[in-house]
Amino acid sequence: MLIRVRRPGDIDPREITDEGLYLRRREFLRSAALAGGAAAFAAAGAPTASRAARLAPGDLAALTGLVPSPFSTDESPNSFEDVTSYNNFYEFGTDKEDPARHAHTLVTDPWSVSIRGEVERPGEIALEDLLKPHALEERVYRLRCVEAWSMVIPWVGIPLGDILRRFEPTSHAKYVAFRTLYKPSQMRGQRRRVLDWPYREGLRIDEAMNPLTILAVGLYGRVLPSQNGAPLRLIVPWKYGFKSIKSIVSIELTRRRPATSWNVSAPREYGFYANVNPEVDHPRWSQKRERRIGEFRRRPTLPFNGYAESVADLYAGMNLRKNF
Amino acid sequence: MARRKSWWRGTGLRIAVFVVGVAPAGLLLLDGLRGSLGANPIETLQHTTGDWSLRFVLAALAVTPLRRLFGWGFLAPHRRTLGLFAFFYVCLHLGTYVGLDLFFDWSVIAEDIFKRPYITAGFTGFLCMLPLAITSTRGWQRRLGRRWVQLHRLAYVAGIAGSVHYLWLTKADLLSPLVYTVILATLLGTRLWFRYARRTTRPARSLS
Ligand code: HEM
């Protein structure tokens, strides 16, 4: 007899139709037609929104000594509930409510990040040591998703540039490549190949060094909830949300432009730059307007998500229609 | 015994179909009133009504194959109800889009219909279902006679348009729209097969 090692993708033998049923398959076929129909109708019967377990700020450790930032917007933030119950984090499923429902399986302590490539001081560093020398800042930023919705979120984080400088990038460092944890046992969405796991993102070095770009470790004065990309995620507020990669385990400085997940998945729809741009439509929908979560009417989308003053120079002379 | 059975297959089934038909709308209304449609209520409405419209299209299209495969003639009287529920949900779906999502911004709506393939497909589905709903009464059925049957083949087109719409609007995870598409393909495939079988058995019959 074969000894089988069970891998995560394998079918549990119990899920395979038993022999008796197989032999009675005509009858089975008949009842399956009925049951299948009934199940399809029952499946999404209850509207999904009410099912996600509610997380309260008190469930998360508080972060203290936060420094306010001049980069913060004074627009009023979305509620903690909106921010933690409506997420795109395909590692935990493709529905907006899936991350809130399934991300509790993620183990974020201990956590370490590998920093490699074009740096003088590469290494694997524990999260505490990565953060220790820096002051935590509160940054209230607009977040614009490529799906034409937006939120305002009070992040807590550290400028990415300040962190990168500690590792002394070489003169060859032209890009920064990020990678999310790959762990299907904890990230159930990775058990199906919806994207080419692990999730990868990248920035040009000047984008990474821009003072608006942060690595976030919290929101609403608390450590990051798992559904928001705990324990460490990128925030690039002038780009569509998918650039802001979550649960980062690797940062590599490179000479060449790195491959990025959504671009690999659908190159015509998601570019490397992904700057918020109302003039360039997604091939399947318009990017001119967005729905701010909590509001009824759509509002106009601003170039660079309203951060043009700080970042438009980075793209001087570039054709942003081509480099979308 | 026989009377009980026929009650279940007649009135009982009618009640069941009706309950399954109004329940999703009822739950949406209830959740709407309680403010528990989630962070993006308009999206929840858009998706839930779209899902149910497609489910009812498929359910209506399943009646004939099930009848012919298993002899479930008792389903036949409910086909119209299933089809009308499909239309009911597509109206809510379109209403959500026009009235809530885009707030009667007709220029954007027109642009979407002509420029965005997934909206074009959805709108095609809606245009197919409209005459079917109008001519669903017995009076129209009588008046149109044979042409009624021909006209109502549009239901297939509506199913295909709905599935294509769903496939084209999906960003990365095609599992769910593919499940609908496979079910639709099975239902349409069964019909083709019946047709083929009928054609090939006819000459045999005339020989005997
Ligand atoms: C009348 C024209 C139609 C319009 C304007 C329309 C519009 C839309 C829109 C805007 C979405 C959401 C897309 C997104 O969130 O990315 C959607 C989703 C959907 N629509 Fe339609 N639609 C139409 C007709 C139909 C028809 C005829 C069917 C089926 C018979 C249908 C079934 C669906 C389904 C299944 C979804 C996906 C729901 C989900 O993601 O769970 N739609 N539609």
Instruction: Give the model's confidence band at A38: pLDDT under 50 very low, under 70 low, under 90 confident, else very high.
Output: very low
Q: Do B62 and A37 touch (CB under 8 A)?
A: yes
Cβ-contact B47, B24 below 8 angstroms? no
- How much distance in Å is there from the Cα of A42 to the middle of ligand 1? 20
State the alpha helices, DSSP H only, in chain A: 19-23, 25-43, 80-85, 98-102, 127-131, 160-166, 205-209, 261-265, 308-311
Alpha helix stretches (DSSP H) within B35-151: 41-70, 79-95, 106-115, 117-134, 138-144, 146-151
Out of B40, B44, B45, B47, mutate this one to test ligand 1's pocket (max ligand atoms within 8 Å of CB): namely B47
Instruction: Report the distance separating Cα B181 and Cα A122, nearest Å.
Output: 50
The 10s digit of each residue's pLDDT in A272-321 is 999 999 999 999 899 999 999 999 999 999 999 999 999 999 999 999 99
pLDDT (0 to 100) of residue A31: 42
pLDDT in tens, A173-191: 999 999 999 999 999 999 9
The pLDDT of residue A162 is 97
Closest residue (by CA) to atom 1 of ligand 1? B123
Judge: B39–A294 Cβ closer than 8 Å, yes or no.
Answer: yes
Q: What is the structure's pLDDT at A22?
A: 37
| In chain A, where the domains are located | 13-315
User: Which chain B residues contact residue A50 at CB under 8 A?
Assistant: 31, 36, 38
Please list the residues that pair with A137 across neighbouring strands.
Answer: A67, A157
Look at the pTM and tell me if it is higher than 0.90. no
- Those residues with Cβ within 8 angstroms of residue B109's Cβ, 6 or more apart along the chain or in another chain: B97, B98, B102
pLDDT at A267 over 90: yes
The residue in chain B having the minimum alpha-carbon distance to the alpha carbon of residue A46 is B27
| pLDDT score, position A45 | 40
Q: Does B79 touch chain A (CB under 8 A)?
A: no
CA distances from A310 to A162, A244, A279, A303, A307 (A): 17, 18, 19, 12, 6
Integer Cα distance of B74 and B77 in angstroms: 7
Q: What is the pLDDT of residues A103-146, one digit of tens each?
A: 999 999 999 999 999 999 999 999 999 999 999 999 999 999 99
At the second CATH level, the architecture of A13-315 is Alpha-Beta Complex (3.90)
Record: contact B37-A49, CB cut-off 8 A: yes
Higher pLDDT, A52 or A88: A88
Judged against a pLDDT cut of 60, whether residue A50 lies above it is answered with no
User: Does the pLDDT of residue A47 top 50, yes or no?
Assistant: no
* Residue B175 near chain A (CB below 8 Å): yes
Average pLDDT (A9-33) is 40
pLDDT given for residue B6 in this prediction:
81
Give how far Cα A270 sits from Cα of A241, A322, B164, B180, Å.
Answer: 11, 11, 22, 26
Q: H/E element holding B34?
A: helix B13-34
Q: Whose CA is nearest to atom 9 of ligand 1?
A: B46
Per-residue pLDDT tens for A200-257? Answer: 999 999 999 999 999 999 999 999 999 999 999 999 999 999 999 999 999 999 999 9
B36 near A CB under 8 A? yes
- Residues of chain A with C-beta less than 8 angstroms from the C-beta of B44: 47-49
Of A45, A49, A298, the CB nearest to B44: A49
Domain range holding B134? 2-207
Closest CA to B53 of B148, B154, B162, B178: B162
- Residues from A contacting B (CB-CB < 8 Å) are 30, 33, 37, 40-41, 44-50, 78, 81-82, 85-86, 90, 94, 96-97, 147, 149, 192, 194-195, 265-266, 284-286, 291, 293-294, 296-298
CB A320 within 8 A of CB A280: yes
Distance from CA of B115 to the nearest CA of A (A): 8
Please indicate whether residue B93, judged by its CB atom, sits closer than 6 Å to ligand 1: yes
Q: What's the total number of domains in chain B?
A: 1
What is the C-alpha to C-alpha distance for residues A41 and B51, in angstroms, rounded to an integer? 10
Residue of B169, B170, B176, B183 with the most ligand 1 atoms within 8 Å of its CB, for mutation: B169
Distance from CA of B147 to the nearest CA of A (A): 30
pLDDT the model gives residue B5: 66
Residue A215 CA to residue A235 CA, distance in Å, equals: 6
Contacts of residue B139, Cβ cutoff 8 Å, sequence gap at least 6? none
Backbone φ and ψ of A148, nearest 5°:
75, 30
Q: What ipTM was assigned to the predicted interfaces of this complex?
A: 0.85
Quote the CA–CA distance of B137 and B70 in Å, as a whole number: 27
Dist. CA B64–CA A125, nearest whole Å: 64
Q: From first to last of its 208 residues, what are the pLDDT tens digits of chain B?
A: 455 568 888 889 999 999 999 999 999 999 999 988 999 999 999 999 999 999 999 999 999 999 999 999 999 999 999 999 999 999 999 999 999 999 999 999 999 999 999 999 999 999 999 999 999 999 999 999 999 999 999 999 999 999 999 999 998 899 999 999 999 999 999 999 988 888 876 554 444 3
User: Confidence class of residue A3 from pLDDT cuts 50, 70 and 90?
Assistant: very low
